[in-house]
Chains A and B, each alone.
Chain A
Amino acid sequence: MGSLKVTDHVQRLVEDNAPDLLAYFLRRVEVAEDAADLLNEVLLVIWRKAGSLPGDHTEARMWMFGVARNVLSTHRRASGRRSALHERLREQLAEPHGGDDQDGDGSDVQAALAQLEPLDQEVMRLLFWDGFSQAQVAALLGMPEGTVRSRTHRARQRMKQTLGAASLG
């Protein structure tokens, strides 16, 4: 494959996953605009390491989310260094946004999720917000798949208790 075709291939993969990467960060930052910084950073890293990007679409997606996770864990705000598009994205993220919950804003579910252990929260976010399978979550978090299953079970029980108590209250 020529270099142009390779970069076109990478571009397609990056473009396909950029919205999901943005959503991934948006769901994990306290200040929504920071998701723009993180997306910008992860895109730069992805292009810098494009030679390591797996050819398979699913594996490439996993690889990009692995990069995203590292970027998130080492995030240092660099508010002084932004492109015009980067700035535009921050402004758009500062506006209200929500999930698909037509009956509410999902805040009660999010609040119940926030009461879980941090690692359980991340397992549930990766499973239900980012659409990864249990095997993929296990790979991303570097833990056995059985641990993901047990954590998912435990998290479900606790969330049902929390939400049930809230509805009774």
Chain B
Amino acid sequence: MDDSDLDDLLRKSAPTPSSAATGTAVLLSRQTRGVQAGATPLGQARPVHRRRWLAAAVAAGALALTGAGTLTAYQLGVPPFQTLDADVGRTTTGIAVTYINSSDRTVQCLAFIEYRNLDAAQRTALDQVATSTQWAGYGQRVLNALDLPDASPQAQNAAITEVVEQDLWRAAHTAVPTMVYMQDSDGPVFNGSSLSCANSGGVDGQP
């Protein structure tokens, strides 16, 4: 065996990801750009094992919104349709997350921060987050940055949900600096987020 033979064997022995994994790596790189494009600085991704609240009222057929009217928490069926654990609170003002999906449907969502162990002043600070002008055009901005024009409406919504939660955490942390991310703590805790979506044709981008 000469050096050339060995070099050839070495090159061929390189463990290589599957084409599926390589494709996912590219998608992940696009999603990461989307995270960066959010309203607040980049941070870490979300935990896997957490609750996600999605448009319970619409799924139950209780709602058929049309047009581009303003959505309220009530219309989207947040409370009382989506229940919370006894020690968990949720912001009362939703952040509008509106975008046109790959089926050319306008999806209108409201995003809410869920928390534990906040005092009144901290709850007020979180509610004020929702009224910030930083959220103007937010949903479409995130979708554009994700650069997933060919993804299904469901995949687009899932990707947006990921980014929204990360952005809400960072916005919440800015408003309440002592807040920690989904930990067991006696202090302020960011307990996740809820995103309720609806449009004239369905929910969460689904037909």
| Residues in chain A within 8 A of chain B (CB atoms) | 7, 10-11, 14-15, 18-19, 21-23, 26-27, 35, 39-40, 43-44, 46-48, 50, 78, 80-89, 92-93, 95, 97-102, 106-107, 109-110, 113, 124, 128-129, 156, 159-160, 163-164
Contacts and interface: CB of A to CB of B under 8 A. Distances in A.
B17 A22 contact: yes
Contacts of A163: 1, 6, 9
A157 B48 CA distance: 47
B42 interface: yes
Contacts, number: 159
B5 to A, nearest CB: 9
Contacts of A92: 17-18, 20-21, 24
A75 to B, nearest CB: 14
Contact of B13 (A10, A40, A50, A101): A101
Contacts of A106: 9, 12-15
B15 A27 contact: yes
B114 to A, nearest CB: 17
A50 B32 CA distance: 12
A4 to B, nearest CB: 10
B64 interface: no
19 contacts: A19-B17, A19-B25, A19-B26, A23-B17, A27-B15, A44-B32, A44-B45, A48-B36, A78-B44, A81-B46, A82-B46, A84-B162, A85-B24, A85-B162, A89-B21, A98-B15, A106-B13, A109-B13, A110-B15
Given A26-B15, A128-B7, A156-B6, A18 B1 contact: no
Contacts of A10: 33
Chain A at the B interface: SS class: helix
Contacts of B60: none
B34 to A, nearest CB: 10
A29 to B, nearest CB: 10
Interface in B15-69: 15-18, 20-22, 24-33, 35-37, 41-49
Nearest to A105: B13
Interface string B85-122: 00000000000000000000000000000000000000
A93 B159 CA distance: 21
Contact of A44 (B17, B25, B44): B44
Interface in B126-150: 147
B3 interface: yes
Contacts of B36: 7, 47-48, 50
A7 B42 CA distance: 15
A19 to B, nearest CB: 4
A7 B158 CA distance: 23
Contact of B14 (A82, A84, A85, A99): A99
A22 B3 CA distance: 28
Interface string B155-185: 0001100100000000000000000000000
